[in-house]
Amino acid sequence: MAATIIDGREVAAQVRADVAREVQAIADRGGRLPGLATILVGDDPASVIYVANKRKASAELGIADFHRQLPADSSQADVAGLIEALNADTGVSGILLQLPVPDGLDLSALQEVRARFLASRHRQRCDFSASHAGLGRSLLGAGMALGR
């Protein structure tokens, strides 16, 4: 199978245009607009920039912003409680827990909290970790075939 070279910027622009049209169609029908919750624990400089860019892109698409930032010394219970609270918020369509989380937090346990609440209460939500593996799991879960 021959490799196909794609223009990543062109693909990204097309995806953004498609999402913006879908969000506008929801608004035109009077539906509930999607909302993205971003959780940043600590102040890792690269993570701050990454989350700011996600928030900016979401705003440009008409997606509601539910950003929360916690101090780096937040407890496991604080972060898990925030995930649970955001999941209970009907305006939130997806939750992005920015990685890395500070040392001392159990990322696997936080992802389990996120997955358990999303699966049991809001099946229509799309949720994945901000990583290549998380995105891959999300695409596979949506039935998309991934190739090399």
Query: Can you give the residue ranges of every domain in the chain?
Result: 34-141
Please give the pLDDT value at position 32.
Answer: 87
Report DSSP state, residue 65. E
Single-letter amino acid, residue 17: A
Q: What gap in Å lies between CA 86 and CA 96, rounded to an integer?
A: 11
Instruction: Please indicate, yes or no, whether the overall pTM of this predicted structure exceeds 0.85.
Output: no
Q: What gap in Å lies between CA 22 and CA 28, rounded to an integer?
A: 10
Contact yes or no for 59/88 (Cβ under 8 A): no
Q: What gap in Å lies between CA 50 and CA 47, rounded to an integer?
A: 5
Class of domain 34-141: alpha beta
Q: Are strands 64-65 and 94-97 parallel, antiparallel or unpaired?
A: unpaired
Contact yes or no for 94/127 (Cβ under 8 A): yes
Q: Which two tokens stand for residue 52?
A: 């700011």
Please give the pLDDT value at position 93.
Answer: 86
Per-residue pLDDT of the chain (148 residues; tens, 9 = 90+): 788 898 999 999 999 999 999 999 999 999 888 999 999 999 999 999 999 999 999 999 999 999 999 999 999 999 999 999 998 898 998 899 999 999 999 999 998 887 776 665 545 544 445 554 554 555 455 444 444 4
Please give the pLDDT value at position 115.
Answer: 79
Please give the pLDDT value at position 112.
Answer: 86
Residue found under tokens 């407890």? 75
Q: Which two tokens stand for residue 136?
A: 């891959």
Please give the pLDDT value at position 88.
Answer: 87
